């Protein structure tokens, strides 16, 4: 018999109305095209430059308001966003170039 995997917050469905999000939940709800490891190691694309609003159960968490502000941001918006919160996070070369989105006809 296989050992049962421990349940943790990352295994539960993410609801948009929950009061707090950890970093992995933020990544999942945003639907980032990058891998989790890339997102986790790149503060530039994280909410508030990777600085959590507080800690819950020893894990950094972000308030719902923080996530709702961060969700609609595109790569091009991240420089101004990081400047607003003075995170000191720097863009990597791929992100600096930005992604051009074409409107579908």
In sequence order, the β-bridge partners of residue 54 are 61
Buried b (16+ CB within 10 A) or exposed e, 1-15: eeeeeeeeeeeeebe
d(CA 99, CA 62): 26
The pair phi, psi for residue 102, each rounded to 5°, is -95, 135
| Span 65-91, pLDDT tens digits | 999 999 999 989 999 999 999 999 988
| Span 11-55, pLDDT tens digits | 667 788 899 999 999 999 999 888 999 999 999 999 999 999 999
Domain-wise residue ranges, the chain: 16-91
Of the candidates 7, 6, 2, 89, the residue with the CA atom closest to the CA atom of residue 46: 89
| Residue 54, pLDDT score | 97
Kindly list the strands in the beta sheet with 20-22, ordered across the sheet, starting from the edge strand earlier in the chain.
20-22, 59-63, 54-56
């Amino acid at each position: 018999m296989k050992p049962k995997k421990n349940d943790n917050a990352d295994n539960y469905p993410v609801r948009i109305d929950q009061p707090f999000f950890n970093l992995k939940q933020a990544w999942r709800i945003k639907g980032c095209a990058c891998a989790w490891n890339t997102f986790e190691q790149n503060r530039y694309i994280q909410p508030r430059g990777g600085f959590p609003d507080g800690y819950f159960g020893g894990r950094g968490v972000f308030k719902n308001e923080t996530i709702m502000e961060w969700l609609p941001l595109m790569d091009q918006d991240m420089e101004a966003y990081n400047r607003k919160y003075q995170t000191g996070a720097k863009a990597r070369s791929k992100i600096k170039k930005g992604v051009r989105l074409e409107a579908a006809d």
